[in-house]
Amino acid sequence: MKRPVWLLLPFSALVLDFLSKVWILKLLHFEGDSISVIEGFFKLTLGFNKGAIFGSLRDAPEWLRAGLFTLAGIAALVYFGRLFLAEETPRLERVALGLIIGGAMGNGLDRLLHGYVVDFLDFVFGTWHYWYFNVADSCIVVGGILFGISLLTEKKAPKTVPTD
């Protein structure tokens, strides 16, 4: 498959994440608003994450958060984007990278538009309550898992040592 076609993957993840957030913001209006989908297991709960993963850095000054998130986002896009576009990148690794890039762009777009990330997927397992998350977070996690699998399973061509 040609590389330009592969660009549909991160773009699709970005669009799906964006549309899901537009939908949830029309459905729920205030942070903490919630609708039960599967009683005792899954709810749609509106949350605004000003921090990083699991809300870390949410109490840091805005200038620090904005600077860190901007630098981290640019560094991630450059690093993962280079791997994603490299011709020799194996298919599974490219899928993983496409999901990671699309998810990162989705959350980055949120930070640009709102100053925070919109989260709304809310799961409870017995007495354990998981943090709210969104489609972009799901893409990043699934992409990370696939990336790890690809690193463990892809056969790399052995390096040849030149002989004189």
Selected catalytic residue, list 17, 110, 119, 122: 119
Our separate counts of H helices and E strands in the chain read 5, 4
CA-wise closest residue to 124 among 41, 37, 39: 41
The two tokens of residue 136 are: 């972009």
Selected catalytic residue, list 17, 110, 122, 137: 137
Q: Assess whether 137 carries a catalytic annotation.
A: yes
Give the three-class secondary structure for 98.
Answer: helix
Taking the C-alpha atoms of residue 121 and residue 133, their distance in angstroms, rounded to an integer, is 5
Q: How many CB atoms lie within 10 A of CB 80?
A: 19
Taking the C-alpha atoms of residue 130 and residue 47, their distance in angstroms, rounded to an integer, is 13
Catalytic residue positions, numbered:
119, 137
